[in-house]
Chains A and B, each alone.
Chain A
Amino acid sequence: MKYKNTVFATAALSLFAGLALAEEMTIVSWGGAYSKSQLKAYHEPYTANTGVTIINDESAGTAVPKLRAMKEAGNLTWDVVDVEAGPAMQLCDEGLAMEIDHDFMLADAPDGTLASVDFGDFIVSECFIPQIVYSYTVGYRNDMVGSTPPTSICAIFDTETYPGKRSLKKGALSNMEWALLCDGVAKADIYPTLETAAGQDQALAKLDTIKDDVIWWSAGADTPQLLADGEVVMGSTFNGRLFALIEEQNQPVSMLWDGQIYDLDGWIIPTGLSPERQARALHYVRFATDTQRLADQSRWISYGPTRASSALLVDKHAELGIDMAPHMPTDPANSKNTFLMNYAFWADYKDDIESKFQAWLAQ
């Protein structure tokens, strides 16, 4: 395998060297603190090594429909796309993401462990190149919750104890699970319940109880902004964004580590790239997902690296100097009551439930 790797790397590099200088590639991601961590850990060293200019597109939130539209229009403008596990499976199913031979195309761990072993179960689809583990969780304003700060995720639905607006994702994912969880459905039954029309209606009925109290967000940076302005008493977002808000910007906000939805994020490479662009995309991904790079990213944002070999290297924040491990969603103290997202379920049901959710929202 070592030999194969070398051959592949040489081939990729030579293809690469044949390309004109001052190249560009478009990488799609989520913006904000997350894009910054990728810029620092991956893009800057990559550009320094190769001279390739990286254009950061922040539309990862609509990656699936946009890639579908690009296929429809026959105009592919993206080279590498950062998506969650569910959408990656969806794109793989639809032939919009290229299949990856993880051991062949990705770097081994420093001790020679194969990539597929190092990533382990995080490789949830043959198109998915895992990057981080993160959580959807809830942050709240310390000064707006009175003397009883929330300890349960169901505080979202408790407008009596915690009056005021709350910000939730403008989408089905995460909201439907929490709605059922707080409507008394057992954790293990949530996805089977959501498969049925009656279960979907039950979740929407629960969300109906707070519909007028919700500001719906579509960009990852929205909830941190709304919390900082005091516009909402609590709001859902990614745990790394809340980390940035609390630790870097010192806002009077706390994070709830209860019922947080545990998900993966990683890269996919769209199908239909020209051979040169594909080689470059693969070259980038090989660099950006090696052990050191994944560990480097966790020095900028509190998302856990998906490589076992990188987890050992998680250290202190690059600027603040605080220990990063206690802020990771994988830390035992934080994961007492987590909710594991069922990627396969969402890959199958996203289109059904999302259209129902959006129709409900528009009413």
Chain B
Amino acid sequence: MSYTDDNGPMMTVDGKPLKRSLAIALRRQKIRALLLISPLLIFVLITFLFPIASMLFRSVENDIVSEILPKTVVALSDWDAQSGELPGEIVYSAFAGDIQRAAKAKDHTRVGLRLNYEKSGMASLFKKTARKAKKWDLEADTPFKNKLIETHKGWADIAVWQTLKTHSSRYTSGYFLNSIDMRKTVSGPEFQPEDRQILVTLFKRTLIISLVITISCILLGYPVAWLLANLPMRQANLLMILVLLPFWTSLLVRTSAWKVMLQQQGVINDLLVALGMIEETGRLALINNQLGTVIAMTHILLPFMILPMYSVMQSIPPTYLRAAKSLGATNWTAFWRVYFPQSVPGIGAGSILVFILSIGYYITPEIVGGNKGVFISNRIAYHIFQSMNWGLAAALGTILLVAVLTLYWAYDKIVGIDNVKLGG
């Protein structure tokens, strides 16, 4: 329904240039599509991206000290922390005013708790001091240097003031340093004392155990996926139900079931003793250690490995194998040279899924991992729910997120993300 004017652009019937008219129509379509997905988009934005961003922001945010002890922070800025001398009366009297106000507002525990993450003993120091500070007369009770040291000898410890000064800035790299077992001090970053170095070990352990779980999933899952893809429909469906069954059972139920199976008086140990394979006194420790975590998590994550493998294997035409054999290949050669390379994308997809899921796993290691089988995520949970050190939890979470993205990037470089297939 358009006509061409020899001298001008192509026009539509209503006299508008066709190009513009088309653009308008396309834009309308786009807006409509966007409107259609907007509920999901807004939902993801509000419930996923925004909370994650605000949580990540906490890993550098550090306003508790400067908010609750404003005058002290200002007064401390003139004090040379490395001078080896205690700060002057001006700092002590500023602090006395701050702590009295904080005690009345019942805010003093927050700052004590914050500083206790850096130096053990700060929480009780603030609590004890604040209790007495409520009764001080700021005019008459000077000098506060003596008064404070009398109240608690902690105030005569230079390290206390150094900690206060170091952690009074509004933004801090302290949490990130903490998450790699270092700490911020007046003379720059330092390693934590040995009895506080645990997080790097936990990161390493998380990566190694996750790798072991991924490999066990591949070894256990590959034959099952192959069977699924090659059995007649009827049997394959039955097998498929067996694979999917764990998906339909609650995670907690499955994990608790492993507890019953693996404990020392549990089903497996009882069976082995009954069969005479182990002594009554030599029952195996299968739970509350790393082995327990590996066993239970391999079971729980196995479907995530089998399903992508299965869908890839299903798309490999059986004729290829037959062709290889008719050309004289042995069973092994036909499998290794023809079938296996074609199933690699399935292994890749499954491995990424299992590995990424497992480095963030929390509840299963918590229940069956005991002391040595817990992950970095359990430590994050501890800092969120118990120690209230959200800054450190956020820093650990950020590192975990970056680690996952890096691994994904490395995988893309080495294997190529095009080689990952979830199906067909």
Contacts and interface: CB of A to CB of B under 8 A. Distances in A.
A356 B195 CA distance: 9
| A interface bracket (residues with beta carbon within 8 Å of B) | 20 to 34
Given A65-B386, A355-B116, A362 B379 contact: yes
B333 interface: no
Contacts of A195: 124
Contacts of A94: 106, 109-110
Contacts of A356: 120
Contact of A62 (B113, B122, B385): B385
Interface residues of B, number: 36
Nearest to B389: A355
Determine chain B's interface SS by DSSP, over half rule.
helix
A61 to B, nearest CB: 10
A93 B106 contact: yes
B374 to A, nearest CB: 8
Interface in A51-91: 62, 65-66, 68-69, 72, 90
B136 interface: no
Contacts of A90: 109
A355 B120 contact: yes
Contacts of B371: 211, 216, 361-362
Nearest to A225: B259
Interface in B377-424: 379, 382, 384-388, 390
Interface in B356-390: 370-371, 374, 379, 382, 384-388, 390
Interface string A339-363: 0000000011101101110111111
Contact of B123 (A65, A95, A351): A351
Contacts of B264: 165, 231
Interface string B174-210: 0000000000000000000001101001100000000
A348 B128 contact: yes
B202 A362 contact: yes
A355 B385 CA distance: 13
A230 interface: yes
Interface in B88-136: 105-106, 109-110, 112-113, 116-117, 120-124, 127-128, 131
Contacts of B370: 215-216
A360 B120 contact: no
A352 B109 contact: no
A362 B198 contact: yes
B46 to A, nearest CB: 16
Contacts of B382: 358
Contacts of B72: none
Contacts of A361: 371
A207 to B, nearest CB: 12
A349 B386 contact: no
B331 interface: no
Contacts of B109: 90, 93-94, 351
